[in-house]
Structure 1
């Protein structure tokens, strides 16, 4: 896949279930993992899966009566993309801006700040 694209929330939910379960995963397993909880019907889940196949996030194989799905994009790879995109869009690629917004909003504890400082110090060496 040349370029990863942002997934809608519902497709991301499906991908999380694909990543977090043993591979390959079946439609039935996805229904158990997420579909029933969300109140989705099987055709809805299949529609999301087909979109993810079309976007190159997963591949599918037919095994008898059942379809199996495998991730083509790993979770870490997608999370790096999303994090980078978030920093660029909302913080002008500034880690300082991001951390500052969390700190000013009291979302970071003093321990969090100390851990961030340790990471920064390691990077400077």
Structure 2
């Protein structure tokens, strides 16, 4: 399941808020805020994709995520590696470390994370 850029942006607000009414979501957006009808359309699409749901309180709906942020982005990164790097984590790592202008400190931090994972296995 892939979310559009607009859906991902809305999902990020929902993950941050954990649960939210339409007003809460509108308040989370910076100016210029999207139209309420735009958010309603996005939320309907996202509900159809089974990534959000809502509870009804009178005439109001309180929306909440059905997927965790980490699980969603893990799936996206794995798809990226599969589709653009021939399912090779090494090719992805090579591209990532060479093309993202990481500092020496950031590279050392990545090495520490990798070394820690190697020790766990």
- Range class of TM-score, shorter chain: 0.7 to 0.9
Q: With structure 2 as the length reference, what TM-score do the two structures score?
A: 0.86
Q: Structure 1 regions of 5+ residues with no counterpart?
A: none
The answer as to whether partners of 2:26 and 2:33 remain within 8 angstroms in 1 is no
Match of 1:75 in 2: 69
In the alignment, what sits opposite 2:10? 14
State how many pairs are aligned. 119
Answer yes or no: is 1:33 the counterpart of 2:28. yes
C-alpha spacing 1:27/1:43, structure 2 compared with 1 (3 Å): same
Asked if 1:24 corresponds to 2:15, the answer is: no
RMSD across aligned positions (CA): 1.7
Give the aligned partner of residue 79 of structure 2.
Answer: 85
**How far apart are the structure 2 equivalents of 1:63 and 1:120?**
47
For 2:44 and 2:71, the matched residues in 1 are separated by: 21
In the TM superposition, what whole-angstrom CA distance separates every residue of 1:31-66 from its partner, at most 9, and x where no partner exists? Answer: 1112x6353111110010011111100111210121
Q: Matched residues in 1 for 2:88 and 2:31: separation?
A: 37
Query: Do the aligned partners of residues 26 and 106 (structure 1) sit closer, same or farther apart at CA in structure 2, a change above 3 Å counting?
Result: closer
Q: TM-score scaled to structure 1, two decimals?
A: 0.84
Counterpart Cα distance in 1 of 2:76 and 2:34: 25
